[in-house]
Chain A
Amino acid sequence: MSAATAGDTPGGAAGRSAGTPRAGEAGEAGGAAEARTAKEAAREGAGSDRSPEGGRTGGRARPGVAVLRLHRTALLVWGGYVLAAVAVLVWTVTVTADAALREQARCVGEPVCGIAATLAYGDRIGMVATAVCYGFLVVAAFAGGALFGRELENGTAHLVWTQSVSPARWLAAELAVAALPLLLGSAVLVLSFRWAWSAHRELLGTDWTFADVFVARGPATAAYCLCALAVGALAAVVLRRALPALGVSVASVLALNLVLDGFRPSLWPHVTRTARTPFEVSGSAWQIENGAVVGGRRTAELGPHLCDGTAAEVRRCMAEGDITGYYAAYHPPSHFWPLHLAETGIVLAVAALATGAAFLLLRHRTA
């Protein structure tokens, strides 16, 4: 510390002339007079307002509070969105399910039967599934655009960095303050969706393998949100402009999601079942591939219905085609968690990489 600190506290000034009017109101224009009034003001202000000493016992800066102050609207919007989604789920399951169930009961054994209520029920649950799963796109837009991009573009970030908060600490505060509500909100969304989705499975046309249902039923939802946050931060730090960062971060996380969507069945070893006779795997399984075993080789191009007819006909047909059996590759429903957690891990790893890159780049750029 240099000795210059000696000058920065108006020593003994606190407590003097507490009742005097604010110097600023009584002052007059003019350089010399200004200098004097400013001096007096410094003393009187210290007495009449909160004393600087009182302010200084506060200790470390509170960037988290500052982040909240800056992004209160976004927090309210996120809270509103979570509440709205939960409200739709609760209303759908508790209020509208009865009509759909009555409809289903009435339809038992009836070849012609209106199922409008059932369809509406499934639509609403499906809508929430889409919203919960793809909410990370909005998070990416917000993180790249409003949270980091705009601050870097219009210089607010520079304003903050020249307060008592370092760039790295500010980035950490923004990430943490955004991550906490995202985690909490995702947890609420996932738990309510799990409850709503399993409440009346017979009314739904979706199963656990549907992309949005798959993501919305576990921690991958939160992982995608955190990843979107991190990628948004990285895009903003790289590009330093709000709209390009918004576009790049949304496109990046969407690409990540599409790629993982494509590779989803490969993230955990699947089960392969073979048999001499054609068979169907359980309807709840996620069938990846099936076909015939021809000459000891599995060929997906040949379906299980190649040989029809009587037992003798089937035997002859199989012998002719050198078909020794049939196989199916699939994920049983019990693979949901390993598959889901593998995807969650990958997404979190991408999030961690993006976060690390953002911090590195920021440190490289600023002193």
Chain B
Amino acid sequence: MIPSSLVPRGPGRSVLRLHRAALWTWLSLVAATSAALLWAYGPGHESALADALRQCPDGIALCDRTSGPWIGRYDTVSALGTIGVAHLSFLVAGWAGAALVGRELENGTAHLAWTQSVSPARWLAAELAVPALFVSAGTTVLVLLHRLMRDGGRDLAWASWYEYDVFRADGPVAVAYALCGLALGALAGLVVGRALPALGVALAAQLAVVVLGNEYRPKLWPVVSVTGTGSVDVPSGAAHLHQGVITAGGARRATSVPCDFADGPNGANGVRCGAEDGASGVWATYHPESHFRPLQLVETGAVLAVAALAVAAAFLLLRRRTAAASPPAAAGRAPGSVPADGSATGASV
């Protein structure tokens, strides 16, 4: 069943028509990335595994040295695939700021649309909805293929689930970031009104959101906290966050490396850590791998909230600007006996 909303009508169709080149670029990008991910999932992984097994006939898990031509290729392709999916949102943001909204405002195509039977708000809605559809669909496909690649390649993967790029490429947050890029790009395009500066602003805004996301990700779900006397037990595969000692008074003091960092038997160094002020034990916090899903969902929500705010701001801005019937105030510097002609001064929206 195809929802009727998938067949765009009116302004939606004109958005598609105006940005046909972008649509084809997007489709070929998704296709190329999909092909790379599928290669890494199937034949690439197979050849790399064969490479590895030749060196470690007893099993890869017991082997500390795996290298070879196919392993190198597999590593490169899977890493590039992860980087690509993780950074798609920047492409979307830049495109939305520059080509989708900025250029239309700059060269007056937007005004053209507004003077057809399409209100500015409906224009913006179509500008956002149609790309959102394609962006979500394409990103979803890539995320699914990326998961497939990572699940199939656990034996050879060296990147952990909590690494910045892997996390952003391996779940619904990828779609959320892409939509956020679309919204921020559209807002930047509306605010700046010129294609190339809007491109820069959109990229900077998206970069800020992504950096903040990376920074605050561990705080989005309650961490697991463990204590011990000499050492703590952090399960393998967990994202280790903080650690420290518990003072005699019961207060927790953070240290920059785990007290059981060294190879000494039974946390020999934990004793040293604690010895500083008579500590009674050590503590550590971490996110186990099972937190992947809740972390993804909470971050998806947060990023979508940012996107929603940006969309709301864009609509508000558009309404304020187009409701004002007077000639654009931005054009203010030149007093003109020649009446300012909106369509001719397209740049100064």
In the complex, A touching B (Cβ < 8 A)? yes
Q: CB within 8 Å of B: which residues of A?
A: 111-116, 145-146, 150, 242-244, 246-247, 262, 300-303, 305
A115:B256 contact, CB within 8 angstroms:
yes
- Which of A146, A247, A305 lies in contact with B65, CB distance below 8 A? A305
A301:B262 contact, CB within 8 angstroms:
no
The answer to whether B195 has its CB under 8 Å from any CB of chain A is: yes
Which residues of chain B from 247 to 267 have a CB within 8 Å of any chain A CB? 255-259, 261-264
A-B contact pairs, 25 of them (CB 8 A): A111-B262, A111-B263, A111-B264, A112-B255, A112-B262, A112-B269, A112-B272, A113-B257, A114-B256, A115-B256, A145-B199, A150-B196, A242-B195, A243-B98, A243-B99, A243-B103, A243-B196, A300-B68, A300-B69, A301-B51, A301-B54, A301-B55, A302-B55, A303-B65, A305-B65
Query: How far, in whole Å, are A145 and B76 apart by their CA atoms in the complex?
Result: 30
Query: How far, in whole Å, are A106 and B259 apart by their CA atoms in the complex?
Result: 16
B261:A112 contact, CB within 8 angstroms:
yes
Given contacts A243-B99, A262-B76, contact A114 B65 (CB under 8 A): no
Within the complex, the shortest CB–CB distance from B72 to chain A, in Å, comes to 10
Contacts A243-B195, A243-B199 aside, 20 further interface pairs with beta carbons under 8 A come to: A111-B264, A111-B269, A112-B255, A112-B258, A112-B259, A112-B261, A112-B269, A112-B273, A115-B256, A145-B199, A242-B196, A243-B99, A243-B196, A247-B25, A262-B76, A300-B68, A300-B69, A301-B51, A301-B55, A301-B68
A112:B257 contact, CB within 8 angstroms:
yes
Of B54, B65, B256, which is in contact with the most chain A CB atoms at under 10 Å from its CB? B256
Instruction: With CB as the reference atom, state the residue of chain B lying closest to A117.
Output: B256
Which residues of chain B from 24 to 78 have a CB within 8 Å of any chain A CB? 25, 51, 54-55, 65, 67-69, 76
Query: How far, in whole Å, are A145 and B198 apart by their CA atoms in the complex?
Result: 12
Query: How far, in whole Å, are A337 and B54 apart by their CA atoms in the complex?
Result: 36
A145:B196 contact, CB within 8 angstroms:
yes
The answer to whether B329 has its CB under 8 Å from any CB of chain A is: no
Residues of B within 8 A of A303 (CB): 55, 65
Within the complex, the shortest CB–CB distance from B71 to chain A, in Å, comes to 10
The answer to whether B21 has its CB under 8 Å from any CB of chain A is: yes
Instruction: With CB as the reference atom, state the residue of chain B lying closest to A258.
Output: B80
Within the complex, the shortest CB–CB distance from B60 to chain A, in Å, comes to 13
Interface readout for B81-103 with A: 1 if CB under 8 Å, 0 if not? 00000000000000000110001
Residues of A within 8 A of B263 (CB): 111
Residues of A within 8 A of B103 (CB): 243
Query: Closest 5 interchain pairs by CB?
Result: A114-B256, A111-B262, A301-B54, A112-B269, A116-B256
B255:A114 contact, CB within 8 angstroms:
yes
Residues of A within 8 A of B51 (CB): 301
Residues of B within 8 A of A302 (CB): 54-55
Interface readout for B182-220 with A: 1 if CB under 8 Å, 0 if not? 000000000000011001000000000000000000000
A111:B261 contact, CB within 8 angstroms:
yes
Residues of B within 8 A of A146 (CB): 196
Query: How far, in whole Å, are A111 and B259 apart by their CA atoms in the complex?
Result: 9
Within the complex, the shortest CB–CB distance from B57 to chain A, in Å, comes to 10
Within the complex, the shortest CB–CB distance from B197 to chain A, in Å, comes to 9
Query: How far, in whole Å, are A246 and B34 apart by their CA atoms in the complex?
Result: 24
Residues of A within 8 A of B199 (CB): 145, 243, 246
Residues of A within 8 A of B54 (CB): 301-302
Residues of B within 8 A of A262 (CB): 76
Within the complex, the shortest CB–CB distance from A260 to chain B, in Å, comes to 14
Residues of B within 8 A of A113 (CB): 257
Within the complex, the shortest CB–CB distance from B56 to chain A, in Å, comes to 9
Within the complex, the shortest CB–CB distance from A25 to chain B, in Å, comes to 15
Query: How far, in whole Å, are A200 and B255 apart by their CA atoms in the complex?
Result: 25
Which residues of chain B from 120 to 147 have a CB within 8 Å of any chain A CB? none
Query: How far, in whole Å, are A145 and B197 apart by their CA atoms in the complex?
Result: 11
A244:B269 contact, CB within 8 angstroms:
no
Residues of A within 8 A of B262 (CB): 111-112
Within the complex, the shortest CB–CB distance from B84 to chain A, in Å, comes to 12
A114:B257 contact, CB within 8 angstroms:
yes
Residues of A within 8 A of B76 (CB): 262
Residues of B within 8 A of A145 (CB): 196, 199
Residues of B within 8 A of A305 (CB): 65
